Amino acid sequence: MGVSLQCVMDLVVAGISLAVGLGFFAFVAAVLCSAAFFNSVKDIA
């Protein structure tokens, strides 16, 4: 094959860290969007 276990593990760890980073970014963006949405609704009401 030519693909060592170390290379595969590096790819897996990189994929997991990338998924965690994107998930955290999406969570922060969702919180900010909901906060801005509630603020605008509160001003209109």
pLDDT of residue 1: 60
- Output the CA torsion 15→16→18→21 (10° steps): 170
- What is the C-alpha end-to-end distance of the chain, expressed in Å? 65
Q: For residue 30, is pLDDT > 70?
A: yes
For 31, 35, 36, 37, 42, the CA distances from 45, given in Å and listed in that order, are 21, 15, 14, 12, 5
> Which ranges of 2-45 would DSSP assign to H, the alpha helix?
5-44
Question: What confidence tens digit (pLDDT) does each residue in 2-28 have?
Answer: 779 999 999 999 999 999 999 999 999
pLDDT value at residue 3: 77
Confidence of residue 41 (pLDDT cuts 50, 70, 90): confident
- CA 28 from centre of chain: 8
> Average pLDDT in the 32-37 region?
93
